Structure formats: structure tokens, C-alpha cells
Amino acid sequence: MVFHGPGDLRQEELPVPEPAPGELVVRIDAALTCGTDVKTLRRGHPVMIPKIPTVFGHELAGTVTAVGAGVGRFRAGDRVVAANSAPCGECRPCLAGRPNLCEDLLFVNGAYGEFIALPPRLVAKNVVPLAASLPAARAAFAEPLACALGGIERARVESGQTVVVFGHGPLGCLLGMVAAARKARVLLVGKAGWRLERVRSLGIGECLDATRTDRIVEEVRGVTGGRGAEVAIDATGRPEIWEQAIDATGRGGSVVFFGGCAPGATVRLDTRRAHYEELTLLGAFHHTPELIRRAVELMESGVLVPDGLITHRMRLEAVREALELMAKGNALKVLIET
Ligand SMILES: [Zn+2]
Ligand SMILES: [Zn+2]
């Protein structure tokens, strides 16, 4: 599937790539749809899609079919997860241990296809071999799960804390699952409908219905003894929800801004609370090679099993319909199989 610009995703026949030196060619066994792809299809993406046309999709697991000269770590037949980016390792943020903020992050797309060529930097830094026991459909969650791990890590979520997650899309769910795996109490705020029911049935946490009240912040405070949550996370990317996340955080608590808002959006901040209550306000963006590895480990060890978030399975030819389902809020994750 080739992205030619906003609203223009085409199915095209391309030659199976040959690996250049340092590259791997991978047959894609499973790909997952992602809200980012929906957004990108609608309006393009300045960072993930620097030039068009380009192959499309970024959450995948597959099997190595060809190995470029100089690659020692992999051979044909290896099952792998490839992250969708690789940091340079040399810029200031990279050297400071924050490679997700790399000034020259290399993005890779092409999950919605039969084969993908992985560039040398990605092969060197962000391709992870998979245990035989880890099915491809589950392994493909490595990328979004790594983002969720990063968000939870930013707030240093600990056992016994209350974490409220605003947003019940796939990432809200993954954030809740990671927080629950750390033995935190998880509150998930979503909108009534089949998705919230699905999330409720997955048992990730206590679900609060934001459509039933215009006082969701009071509701969060109500179920936390009036104190508010130790950690509040926005996974909606809407500025008014960022504000609710701040308001739902208790004294000394942390707010994680996980969902990216439209360019130029601003939020209101009560300076009294920020100062006297020592609120910690944290951005969370993307993932690192370390987080991708940990995501794979958590799934291999069975600590995290995100399969329940897959609501549909479709063929590669149906990617546009799959993204359409996502756009309408009628799917959590669609598994794309060739
Ligand atoms: Zn994604
Ligand atoms: Zn860098």
C-alpha cells in the first residue's frame, strides 16, 4: 500500500526488495493498524512521512528472507520485530540517553505490504529477534506497547498508586495494561459504546463513562477519597482532556501528556496548583530501542498479552477499509494479514 498524499492510499505491485549492504528483507507476517496511520492518511505527517510517495504502515512482525552484506546478527528464517524508527546515537539527546528525542530519528514505513526492506541503521539498532512462542500478531504490538511503556516510565508508576488514563483507544488500553502490570490501580475514562464495553470485558481497570457526566474530574476525585490520582495520563490528544488530566491529578502527582494535540493547541494551567501542589507535568513521545526490547520481553514472558485489543482481521487489500473502521471508532486494532 503506497501513500501518495492525504486521502490517497493506493495498492501497487512493487518488486520484492533486494537487500543492500547492511539491510534485511523481511516478509511481513502480521501488521496492525494504528491511529497514527489514520491521522497520517487524513493529513500527512511531517516527521514520519518526510517524502511521498512512500510505502505505508508501521507496526509489524515478520520473517527475515534475505540478508544484506555485512549483517552478522540475523539470518534467513529468523522471526523478528522491526521498530518504526532508529535513532542516530550521536546527537545530544541520543548521548543524553533520550534517543526518542533524537535530532535525526530515521522513520521506516511499509508494514502494509508483503515484504519490507529494513535500512542499515534500523537493522543495527532496532530489530529484535522473537522467541518461537511469540505469535506474529502479538509481536506486532511491540511498537505501541513500547510507547505505552515509555509513558508509564515517565511518571515512574509504582505499585499501589492510582493511575487514571483518559482515552480508551488501543494506546489508552496499553497504558492501562502496563500500569496494571506494575500493580497500580487503573481507572480508564472513555465514552459509552461498544469500545468501552470491550475494554471493560478485558478487565484492564475500572472504567468511567465520560458521557454520563460533565463532571468526570469530580468522579475521579470521588473514587480516590477526594485526593485525585497519583498519575493522570492523557491518551486522547485533545487539549480539553489534557486539562481534565491536570485537574484529576492529586497533590504531588504527575500528569503525562501522551496524546499529541493538533499544532498550535494550548491548555490552561492553574499556577497555584502547579506550584503549591508540586504537580509534575511530563511529555511522553515515541519509544526507544530499549523500550522496544522490553516490550518484546514483556510479551514473551506473558506478563502482557494485548491480543484482546485486536477486534478485526483483514487482508492486505482491505487496509483502506480497516483504516476507515478505525477512523469511525469501530475498531481498536485491525490485524492485517497477507
Ligand atoms: Zn503505532
Ligand atoms: Zn540522535
CB distance 185 to 208 below 8 Å = no
Indicate the Cα dihedral angle 83, 175, 98, 243, nearest 10°. 130
Whole-angstrom Cα Rg for the chain? 20
Exposed (0-12), middle (13-18) or buried (19+): which is 25, by Cβ within 10 Å?
buried
Which pLDDT tens digit goes with each residue over 4-56? 999 999 999 999 999 999 999 999 999 999 999 999 999 888 788 888 999 99
Taking the domains of the chain in order of start, what are their residue ranges? 2-140+305-337, 148-283
Domain 2-140+305-337, second-level architecture = Alpha-Beta Complex (3.90)
Reply yes or no on whether the pLDDT at 295 is more than 90: yes
Q: Collect residues with CB below 5 Å from ion ligand 1.
A: 34, 36, 144
CB distance 213 to 189 below 8 Å = no
Query: What's the 100 CA to ligand 2 centre distance in angstroms?
Result: 8
**Domain 148-283 CATH (choose: 1.10.150.130, 3.40.190.10, 3.40.50.720, 3.40.50.2300):** 3.40.50.720
Query: What's the 91 CA to ligand 2 centre distance in angstroms?
Result: 4
Report DSSP state, residue 18: P
Report DSSP state, residue 227: S
Query: What's the 107 CA to ligand 2 centre distance in angstroms?
Result: 12
User: Cell 488530566, residue?
Assistant: 245
Which pLDDT tens digit goes with each residue over 209-228? 998 888 999 999 999 999 99
Which pLDDT tens digit goes with each residue over 78-133? 999 999 999 999 999 999 999 999 999 999 999 999 999 999 999 999 999 999 99
Q: Which range is least confidently modeled, 44-48, 67-71, 177-181?
A: 44-48
Distance between CA atoms of residues 20 and 71, nearest Å: 10
pLDDT at residue 46, as a whole number: 79
Distance between CA atoms of residues 194 and 181, nearest Å: 24
Distance between CA atoms of residues 62 and 110, nearest Å: 12
Exposed (0-12), middle (13-18) or buried (19+): which is 318, by Cβ within 10 Å?
middle
Q: What phi and psi values does residue 158 have, to the nearest 5 degrees?
A: -125, 165
Query: What's the 281 CA to ligand 1 centre distance in angstroms?
Result: 23
